[in-house]
Amino acid sequence: MNLRRLTERPWFYSLILGATILKFSLFFYIMRIIPEAFYDPDSYQYIKDADSILSFLINPAQGLTHSMFALPGYPLFLFFWRHIIGFSVYHVIFIQILFNFITALMVAKIARSINPKWEILSLFIVLFDTPLTIYSQLIMTESIFIFALVYFIYCFHQYITTPGYKLLIGATLALTVCGFIRPVAYFLPLVVAAFVICFRSAGNWKKSLIHAILILLVFYGLGLPWKYRNYKRYGDARLSSIGNVTVKLHSFLIDSKTKKEEVAPTTPNYLYYPYAFSRNILELMTTPGSTKHCQSSVLLGFTKVFGYIFIVFWIPGFVVGLTWGGKDKRYIILIWIFLYFLCATIWATGWTVTSRFRIAMLPSIAIISSAGWLKIRLWWKTVKKTS
């Protein structure tokens, strides 16, 4: 990535400095005051699975005791830094924060490739997003997943610009990494393959169909060994058992059916379910990140105020950007990716959605919002000229 253009303007340094102060102030506060806040309940499973990889390498005869709950991507990340490099949890969190900055620079690069005027706002939105800032300070998958997702988008944009098998396979491998970090990406290849066919990304429909099939073969083919391993060890051929605590307990239909008795028992289903879906979207898109786990009322208050102000800032641009942004296929795929994660999240988690699940949509949100704000700015200039 060419960083020269990104670093030649004063605002770049201002944004980086501000984000550095914000992120590392939180990091050092947690480290000194409440280090247990680096851990989520799921964190211990990830650490245990990372340790299982080490145990397997020491004694292969016992087999890989990695759980079926966590996919192997993030435990491998922890294994590398903790057992190969010898870093502590503090170091791992520090590295995850650094990944935030790399992710933001990549998003800015993607935005600039479509329209240079979108670069600054895209960088700002990713750097100061509160859920990403907070969850990167936990032993959780978010910072690594969003980095892999942005890298996939970057590679896929390259493929759209210059269609070819090498670029397609590179993008698909990046997408496969996403699928091995978080299961929410499992059906995303279907959306990407459909996009390739619908927009004839390879040049003609026959070649596009072949490319779409190749995406599915590479992604799902590489997942087969892990499925086979799970089947042999646990008798379950799924990539992950996390669906047992999401889809089977809190899917949209399950949660909505339960909630109906509480919020609208007499409302007809054809009115209630659209309301429930809209309510879930509103909850997902407008909830700021929470630092409740840090056990500081001052920090919690600051996070909520800052988070709400930040959301109020990007939402108008995002709404406009969904309806305007040009016909560039690189822009359209961002909308498709956003819609995929929006629907997949609500379908799987129902009324239990939190701001954490919005992180997967952040690259799309940042660039689409930047496009929308540019349109708003042009409208405003037009109004001033005519008034």
Each residue's pLDDT tens digit, 243-258: 888 888 888 989 898 8
Query: What pLDDT shows up at residue 249?
Result: 83
Query: What pLDDT shows up at residue 250?
Result: 85
Residue 362 vs residues 124, 220, 309, 334, 335: alpha-carbon distances, Å: 12, 25, 16, 10, 11
pTM metric for this prediction = 0.94
The H or E element containing residue 103 is helix 89-114
pLDDT in tens, 130-175: 999 999 999 999 999 999 999 999 999 999 999 999 999 999 999 9
Determine what percent of the chain is predicted with pLDDT higher than 90. Answer: 81
In total, how many domains does the chain have?
A: 1
Task: Give the C-alpha separation, 196 to 180, whole Å.
Answer: 22
97 is in which domain, residue-wise? 4-386
Could you give the angle at the alpha carbon of 294 between the alpha carbons of 288 and 296, nearest 5°? 90
Mean pLDDT of 328-334: 95
pLDDT in tens, 191-232: 999 999 999 998 899 999 999 999 999 999 999 999 999 999
Residue 381 — pLDDT band, cuts 50, 70, 90?
confident
DSSP 49-81: HHHHHHHHHH-GGG-----SSS-SHHHHHHHII
